[in-house]
Amino acid sequence: MHYGTGGEITILDSTLREGEQTPGVIFSEEWRVRIAKALSDLGVGMIEVGDPTVAPDIKSAIKKIVSMKRGGEIESHIIAHSRSTRQDIETAASLEPDRVAIFYGVSDVHLKHKHRKSREEALQIIGEMVSLARSHGVAVRFTAEDASRADLTYLIQVVKTAHQAGADRVSIADTVGIFTPKRVREVFSKIKNAVPTVGLDIHAHNDFGMAVANSLAAVESGADVVHTTVNGLGERAGITPLQVFVAAYYYHYGVELVNLRELPKITALVETASGIPLMPTFPVVGENAFTHKAGVHQAGVIANPETYEPIPPEVVGRSRDFSLDKYSGRKAIMHRLEHMGITIPPQVLDKVVEEVKKTVARRLRDEDLLDILERVTKTAFKPKVNRHIEAYVWVKVDNNVYTTSVARRVAALRNVVSVSEITGEYDIVIKVVAQNTEELNNVIENIREVRGVASTLTSLVLKEMPTQYK
C-alpha cells in the first residue's frame, strides 16, 4: 500500500525543520537522516528537512537526505526551507531538493516591525524571490507567514502574486495559533475561490490547542497539504501532531494517510531523538490513550470496547489496558485474573474487590492483585501468563560525555521506571518494565541508541521482596 500521496491530501512532516525549533531540541546529522528515513517508511508524502543556512550540519544532512532520495532509499518529496533572501534561496536551491519553501511575514505587525516594508513593497519582494527560486529549476512553495493575522484581501493578493511568479503551492501559516475552525473555513474558501489553481498548505500552530481541528477545517475548505510534526514539536506549543491528525482523519474519513500501525515506533524514535517525553494523556500515542480506569468504563469496555474507545487500539499499533486501583469494579478485576489464567468463585471475588477498594496504591500490577488474592484465600496461585518483565539495565557512558545528560535522555524513554547515576564499574542503572521479551528488547535497543551510551548489561528481575521501607 502506498500512503501519503495517494489519497486526497498529503502529509508534510516538519519534525526536522519546525520540530527542531522546539526549545531544547537539536538533532544530530545522524538523527536527521534516521528520522527522514523513518518518515519516508511511514508513508509521509513530503518532508521538510530544514533550512541549510542555519548550521553546516543541517546543510550536510540535507545533502545526504537528497542523495538517499535519488538512490530510492527515501520516497517522500524533500523540501528545504529558506528565508526570502537571494543568498538563502540560492543556497537552498543549490542542494537540489524537490522543492524550496520560502517564507515572508504578511501581517501588518510582521511587515511593520520585522520587515519594515509596506504592503506594496512586500508584494514586490515576494514576486521577485519566488521567480528567483523558480529560475533555479526547483518547485517552489511560498509561505505566507502570520497569514492568519493578515488582512484577508491583502492575503489574497499575496497568494496571487506568489502563484503568478511560479509558486504552485502557498502555505497559509497560522504562525501564532489564533485560527478557529470557523475562520479557517472562511479564509481557505475565499483564497481557493480567488486563486483556484494554487495548491494550499495549512501550517497550524497549537497555542490554543486547536491545531488539529484547524487543520481538519482547512482540508474541508480546500487545503490539500497538512503540516505536522511527530509528537507535535515546534516553536512554543508546537504544531499539529502527526499521529493525532492522521488518526482523526482515519476516524472521520476512513482514509489511512500513513501506516497507522507504525505510529508508536516513530513516536518513541522522536521522543529519544528530542529528549522530550509525551505526557501520558497525549492523544493516540500517549501512555494512557487506550487505558481505562473507572469501574463503569472498564465494565463497558469488557462488554464491548466501542463503549469507551473511538477506534480499536490495534489500528494505531496500540493495545488496550485497564488500570487497576480502588476505582476498579468486579468485572475488571475478574477480567484481569482470568487473563492470568485464574478463575475464582463469586464469594472470593467479592472479598478481593473489597480488599482492592481499601488499597491506596496508585496502580495495582498483576503481582499486587495476586498478592491480595493470596491473602484473601491463604492459598498460593500460579499465574499462567502475562506477568510483566522487570529488568535492570546497567550502562557505561562514553568518557567525554556528561553522565547526567545521558541519564536525562534515558529517563525520557518509554518503559523506563527509574534512572540512577551510580558509582563503580557502571555509570547509570535503569529499571525498566515490559509486557514481554520483544518489548524488553526494544527498550534495551532504545537505551543503546541514546547518544553517549557506550555499553549495557541487562539483568532480569526474578522476584522482588516487599520491604518495610516506604
**Interface characters, 4-43, with ligand HCA (x: CB under 6 A):** --------------x--x----------------------
Q: How far apart are CA 321 and CA 385, in angstroms?
A: 16
115 is catalytic: no
Classify burial at 108, counting beta carbons within 10 Å of its beta carbon; exposed 0-12, middle 13-18, buried 19 or more.
Answer: middle
* 171 near ligand HCA, judged by CB under 6 A: yes
* Contacted by 145, from Cu ion, ligand HCA, none: CB < 5 to 8 Å by type: ligand HCA
Residue 200 or residue 432: which is nearer to Cu ion going by CB? 200
List the grid coordinates of 219: 482540508
**From 252, 297, 339, 388, the catalytic residue:** 297
- Enumerate residues 220-239 that contact ligand HCA by CB under 6 A: 227
Sign of CA dihedral 360, 363, 365, 366: positive
* 427 near ligand HCA, judged by CB under 6 A: no
Residue 96 or residue 145: which is nearer to ligand HCA going by CB? 145
**Interface characters, 103-122, with ligand HCA (x: CB under 6 A):** x-------------------
* Contacted by 101, from ligand HCA, Cu ion, none: CB < 5 to 8 Å by type: ligand HCA
* 143 near ligand HCA, judged by CB under 6 A: yes
Q: How far apart are CA 354 and CA 438, in angstroms?
A: 35
CB 45 within 8 Å of CB 245: no
* Contacted by 149, from Cu ion, ligand HCA, none: CB < 5 to 8 Å by type: none
Give the interface size with Cu ion as a residue count (CB under 5 A).
1
Could you report how far apart the first and last alpha carbons of the chain are, in Å? 53
Cα 78 to the center of its chain, rounded Å: 19
Q: Tell me the residue number closest to Cu ion, measured at CB.
A: 18
CB 81 within 8 Å of CB 51: yes
Residue 127 or residue 238: which is nearer to ligand HCA going by CB? 238
Exactly one of 93, 101, 217, 440 binds ligand HCA (CB under 6 A); that residue is 101
Helix axes 263-274, 242-253, angle to 10 degrees: 160
Q: How far apart are CA 412 and CA 422, in angstroms?
A: 18
- Give which of 466, 467, 464, 445 is closest to 456, Cα–Cα: 445
Of 64-72, 171-179, 304-312, 369-377, the segment contacting ligand HCA by CB under 6 A is 171-179
Residue 206 or residue 221: which is nearer to ligand HCA going by CB? 206
CB 140 within 8 Å of CB 102: yes
Classify burial at 348, counting beta carbons within 10 Å of its beta carbon; exposed 0-12, middle 13-18, buried 19 or more.
Answer: middle
* Contacted by 171, from ligand HCA, Cu ion, none: CB < 5 to 8 Å by type: ligand HCA
List the grid coordinates of 448: 543503546
Exactly one of 76, 175, 228, 291 binds ligand HCA (CB under 6 A); that residue is 175
Q: How far is the CB of 110 from Cu ion (least distance, A)?
A: 13
Q: How far apart are CA 126 and CA 106, in angstroms?
A: 10
Cα 148 to the center of its chain, rounded Å: 24
Q: How far is the CB of 417 from ligand HCA (least distance, A)?
A: 37
Positions in the binding site for ligand HCA (CB under 6 A): 18, 21, 101, 103, 143, 145, 171, 173, 175, 203, 205, 227
Catalytic residues: 297
Positions in the binding site for Cu ion (CB under 5 A): 18
